[in-house]
Amino acid sequence: MFNWTENQAGRGCEEVVSGLLAFFDIEAKQEELLAWSDSCCGQNKNFVVVCFWQYLVASRRFKCVEHKFPEVGHSFMDSDRDFALIEKNVRKVESVYSASDYRSIISKCKLKKPFVVQDISGIDEL
| Three-state secondary-structure class, residue 90 | helix
- Residue 106, Cβ density class (10 Å: 0-12 exposed, 13-18 middle, ≥19 buried): buried
pLDDT at 79: 78
pTM: 0.70
* CA 117 to chain centroid: 11
| 10-residue averages of pLDDT along the chain (126 residues) | 78 83 80 84 79 94 90 73 90 89 90 84 56
On whether the CB atoms of residues 6 and 124 are closer than 8 A, the answer is no
On whether the CB atoms of residues 8 and 120 are closer than 8 A, the answer is yes
pLDDT at 55: 95
Q: What is the dihedral of CA 90, 93, 99, 100, to 10 degrees?
A: -110
Q: What is the dihedral of CA 74, 77, 83, 87, to 10 degrees?
A: 40
